[in-house]
Amino acid sequence: MFYRETGQFKTTYRADQAVFPILQDRLGIAIILALAFAGVPLLASEFAISSFFIPVLVFSLAAIGLNLLTGYTGLLSLGTGAFMGVGAYGCYKLATWFPGVNILILILASGFVSAAVGVVFGLPSLRIKGFYLAVATLAAQFFLSWCFVRIPWLVNYNISGAIEVPTRTLFGIPVTGPNATATTRYLVALSIVVLMTWLASNLVRGRFGRMWMAVRDMDLAAELIGIRLYRTKLLSFAVSSYFCGVAGAMMVFLWFGSSEADTFNINQSFFILFMVIIGGLGSLVGSFFGAIFIWGTPIMLKAVPPLFGLTIPAATVEHLTFMILGALIIFFLIVEPHGLARLWQIGKQKLRVWPFPY
């Protein structure tokens, strides 16, 4: 209905293969970006920013990471949390070793640590498939989270056994640590996420994306057109873990400010997996939807009862949240197994052919 595609024709393949070939989409994304960069910092409260926007950014990135592996390459992983952890601890160590280096660089660099670890734990994927692989990744999850607890070296032997994020500045403004404002941390996080989402979309639309999807859809045929399965899978593990690692680093440095050892436990992994599934396997935008939905719903649920003047004990709300979340997950799987992304697509298609039904 809002789409006016008549007269939008392409004279080059370059234009034809752009991310947003349709003008209205380009406008839409521009508006969203404007809101994200200007709107939110100006309008949203510190609290809203640090309790909603920053987390959503962090989770979106992690979800994208997992989506690259599970959604695009078809390798189911339950170790996301651990890989995020590696990123976080990696970043912490790097920060202690190179206090001089810009924190942004460190955060991005920490991804490489988890990428390396990811590759190691990706090795089994060469022999095993499906749920067997999923369980294999659990090994990574439990082993790594054990390491986080048991290896005090990781936290510079803090007695608390937790990471305490040092204050680091960017252009003189503190971006991490206790006295960094939520807004600055948000903007930093946002920039990182936007950048990396762009990179991810480049990847998946290009040769590597196609190789991954080929492996996902039919590995035999993929091998037949000359794709080396193990390289492709390992690359996917590496890239995926890189994204998760950066997300983990952001989680600790730009959100929590500190982290207990079990921040990156198995539930974290499940949490991210929900986001990917609900958001939509094999869709970047879906990862955002998933993050917003899974993180947003509980907040909403907590917010709703007071609106009706109801006072429900926190514990009860907690339990209800669990139930409703669980129910919603099942509900969504039933209405649209391909996730919110698909719903979005369908809606968009409807608008494009409006007033026709198809």
Q: Which region, judged by CB under 8 A, interacts with another protein, from 103-111, 129-137, 173-181, 185-193?
A: 129-137
Binding of another protein by 112 (CB under 8 A): no
What x-and-dash track marks residues 173-212 binding another protein by CB under 8 A? Answer: --------------------------x--xx-xxxx-xx-
- Least distance from another protein to the Cβ atom of residue 335, Å: 9
Binding of another protein by 303 (CB under 8 A): no
Q: Residue 163 in 3-state DSSP?
A: strand
Binding of another protein by 130 (CB under 8 A): yes
Which residues, in sequence order, are bridge partners of residue 173? 170
Chosen residue from 20, 97, 131, 153 binding another protein by CB under 8 A: 131
- DSSP annotation string for 85-149: HHHHHHHHHHHHH-TTS-HHHHHHHHHHHHHHHHHHHHGGGGT--HHHHHHHHHHHHHHHHHHHH
Pick 124 or 257: Cβ nearer another protein: 124
Binding of another protein by 135 (CB under 8 A): yes
Chosen residue from 28, 124, 174, 177 binding another protein by CB under 8 A: 124
Chosen residue from 27, 32, 304, 327 binding another protein by CB under 8 A: 327
Binding of another protein by 146 (CB under 8 A): yes
Other Cβ atoms less than 10 A from the Cβ of 217: the count is 10
Q: Which parts of 71-90 interact with another protein (CB under 8 A)?
A: 76
Asked if 237 contacts 125 with a C-beta cutoff of 8 angstroms, the reply is: yes
Total residues binding another protein (CB under 8 A) = 90
Pick 14 or 100: Cβ nearer another protein: 14
Asked if 66 contacts 272 with a C-beta cutoff of 8 angstroms, the reply is: yes
The Cα–Cα gap between 106 and 182 comes to 20
- DSSP annotation string for 224-248: HTT--HHHHHHHHHHHHHHHHHHHH
Chosen residue from 31, 221, 300, 304 binding another protein by CB under 8 A: 221
